[in-house]
Structure 1
C-alpha cells in the first residue's frame, strides 16, 4: 500500500484518509523535487564555509600509488574483478 501526503506543521498529513490499526509500522520515504535539490546545492556552493574540495581533502594521497598498470583507470574491472579485457 502506498499512501501519499505532505508535512504540515511538522506532522505528516495524508492526501487521502487511511484507517490503519494502532501500532501499525510504516515506512516514510521523502520525495524531493529536482528544484529543491538544485536550490540546496546552490546554497551550499554559495556558503564560504562549504569546506575543502574532494581534491583538497585527498591531496596528500593523490599520486602516491606506485607500480600500478598504466591502463588501470580504463581497465579497472579487469584488474579488480578479472573480467575480460
Structure 2
C-alpha cells in the first residue's frame, strides 16, 4: 500500500489519514516536483512562415503549377 503526504513543521502528515498502528516502520521517499515541459523553441511552421516572400524571382503562378516548374509536369 502507498500513502501520500506532506511535511509540515518537520513531521510527515499523511493525506487522507492512514490507519497505521503506532510504531509501524515506514519508508519515506521524497517526490521530485513536476516541472512544466520546456519549450523546444519555435515550431517548424513558425520558422517556415519566416521564409514567406523571401524569393522574388518566381513565376506568378508558381504555387499553382509548382509540379511543372520543379518536375517538368504539364501546366494545369
TM-score range relative to shorter protein: 0.3 to 0.5
TM-score normalized with structure 1 length: 0.37
**Which structure would you say has the larger Rg?**
2
TM-score normalized with structure 2 length: 0.41
More helix by share: 1
Higher RCO (C-alpha 8 Å, min separation 6): 2
